[in-house]
């Protein structure tokens, strides 16, 4: 029934997106596992992991578009929720190493042994269990977003002030996680992972399964976001974006709608971070850097704010371009190119790539106006 509701409210663009991601999630792992290395249809494990990272970013972009594109909340700290989900997954992966670490301690991770920790901190308990770790992937970012949003939205903090506060939040977490006494690996973070659910995290089959799961979660995240924005709740959320004061005057509890959307978005970002970590192989405090959150805003703006498909497209396109431009002579100039891209899109493509392309296509399909017939001359 829920699936029928979601698909009945899906436009053609959304259906194409779902079909494309489903096909990619099925065909790419099969091309990696079944095709021989010399075949033109073979997809290398490195390429698959790289595109898996792009799809994690696409899920993060959808989560940001949900709050910015549809609710009007410009969050410059969404990278914090992404990083917290990644740390929750990283803590589980560290607990799976056991005695195979450099120091051979069956309980303490290597960085704790190096720093002369005598026992495991209490907040690491439970992370040897995969279900508990997955619960924390959702609970920690969601709880932080709920507490932050509770105070911010009830105080009616909006606009640039809210954006600055979210950026301050992620910067505070950056400084905290850099400290060695926090128990999260300090500057080096968490790395050297071995197993995931008993499978070698570096194995080709595990990498293929992670890629497929990323596609499944991207589809799920898209459906959840689409279900929210196409429901009656979503209509109120859009009204808050367009005229918050008028919506409040009509009797709606604006702060509650904002809080719900912000919390759901944070949980989605946490899931994206949890999928990102085993495919990249490391999580460190640099993921909290405010620049990462600002870059996520650029993805959404480039793809098309207020379009979930456009947000995902922008994340993939910008990160693919980043990979291409940071590996050659253009590497020192990538940040300048990224800034120029954002300015160009803001001035000349305010609807992003997808919105601009759709507008161009509709203008071509629109029939040309028929000129009015000239009046007949009087006899």
* Phi/psi-derived region of residue 129, left when phi > 0, alpha when psi is between -120 and 50, beta in every other case: beta
Residue 172 maps to a domain:
yes
Residue 157 maps to a domain:
yes
**pLDDT at residue 368 in the model:** 57
**pLDDT at residue 115 in the model:** 86
Q: Say whether pTM exceeds 0.75.
A: yes
Separation of alpha carbons 126 and 92, rounded Å: 9
Q: Length of the chain, please?
A: 379
Residue 27 maps to a domain:
yes
**pLDDT at residue 350 in the model:** 75
**pLDDT at residue 102 in the model:** 85
Burial of 160 (0-12, 13-18, 19+ CB in 10 A): exposed
Number of domains in the chain: 1
Residue 97 maps to a domain:
yes
Residue 369 maps to a domain:
no
**pLDDT at residue 146 in the model:** 96
Residue 378 maps to a domain:
no
The pLDDT tens digits along the chain (379 residues) read 555 555 556 678 889 999 999 999 999 999 999 888 888 888 999 999 999 999 999 999 999 999 999 999 999 999 999 999 999 999 999 999 888 888 888 888 888 888 888 888 999 998 999 999 999 999 999 999 999 999 999 988 888 899 999 999 999 999 999 988 888 988 888 988 989 988 999 999 999 999 999 999 999 999 999 999 999 999 999 999 998 889 999 889 999 999 999 999 999 999 999 999 999 999 999 999 998 999 999 999 988 888 899 999 999 999 988 888 877 677 777 778 778 877 887 787 777 777 777 666 666 666 656 565 556 565 5
**pLDDT at residue 341 in the model:** 79
Separation of alpha carbons 324 and 52, rounded Å: 16
Residue 19 maps to a domain:
yes
Report angle CA 340, 54, 330 to the nearest 5 degrees.
40
Task: Report the sign of the C-alpha dihedral through residues 335, 87, 276, 259, in that order.
Answer: negative
Residue 104 maps to a domain:
yes
Burial of 125 (0-12, 13-18, 19+ CB in 10 A): exposed
Residue 230 neighbours by CB distance under 10 Å: 17
Give the domain range for residue 134: 2-362
């Amino acid at each position: 029934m829920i699936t029928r509701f979601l698909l009945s409210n899906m436009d053609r663009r959304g259906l194409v997106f779902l079909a494309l991601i489903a096909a990619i999630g099925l065909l790419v792992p099969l091309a990696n596992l079944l095709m021989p290395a010399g075949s033109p249809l073979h997809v290398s494990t490195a390429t698959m992991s790289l595109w898996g990272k792009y799809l994690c970013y696409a899920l993060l972009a959808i989560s940001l578009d949900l709050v910015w594109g549809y609710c009007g909340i410009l969050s410059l700290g969404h990278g914090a929720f992404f990083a917290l989900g990644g740390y929750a997954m990283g803590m589980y992966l560290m607990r799976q190493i056991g005695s195979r670490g450099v120091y051979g301690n069956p309980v303490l991770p290597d960085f704790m042994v190096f720093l002369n920790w005598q026992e495991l901190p209490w907040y690491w308990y439970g992370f040897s269990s995969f279900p508990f770790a997955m619960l924390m992937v959702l609970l920690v970012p969601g709880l932080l977003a709920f507490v932050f949003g509770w105070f911010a939205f009830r105080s009616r903090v909006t606009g640039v002030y809210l954006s600055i506060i979210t950026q301050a939040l992620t910067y505070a977490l950056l400084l905290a996680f850099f400290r060695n006494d926090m128990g999260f690996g300090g500057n080096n973070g968490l790395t050297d992972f071995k197993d995931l659910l008993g499978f070698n995290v570096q194995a080709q089959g595990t990498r293929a399964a992670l890629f497929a799961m990323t596609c499944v979660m991207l589809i799920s995240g898209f459906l959840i976001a689409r279900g929210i924005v196409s429901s009656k709740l979503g209509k109120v959320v859009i009204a808050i974006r367009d005229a918050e004061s008028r919506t409040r005057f009509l009797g709606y509890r604006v702060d509650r709608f904002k809080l719900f959307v912000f919390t759901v978005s944070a949980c989605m970002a946490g899931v994206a971070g949890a999928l990102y970590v085993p495919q990249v192989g490391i999580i460190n405090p640099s993921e909290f850097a405010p620049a990462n959150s600002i870059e996520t805003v650029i993805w959404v703006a480039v793809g098309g704010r207020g379009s979930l498909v456009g947000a995902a497209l922008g994340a993939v396109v910008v990160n693919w371009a980043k990979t291409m431009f940071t590996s050659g002579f253009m590497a020192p100039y990538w940040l300048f190119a990224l800034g120029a891209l954002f300015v160009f899109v803001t001035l000349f493509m305010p609807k992003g790539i997808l919105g601009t392309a759709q507008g161009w296509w509709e203008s071509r399909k629109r029939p040309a106006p028929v000129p009015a017939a000239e009046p007949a001359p009087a006899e």
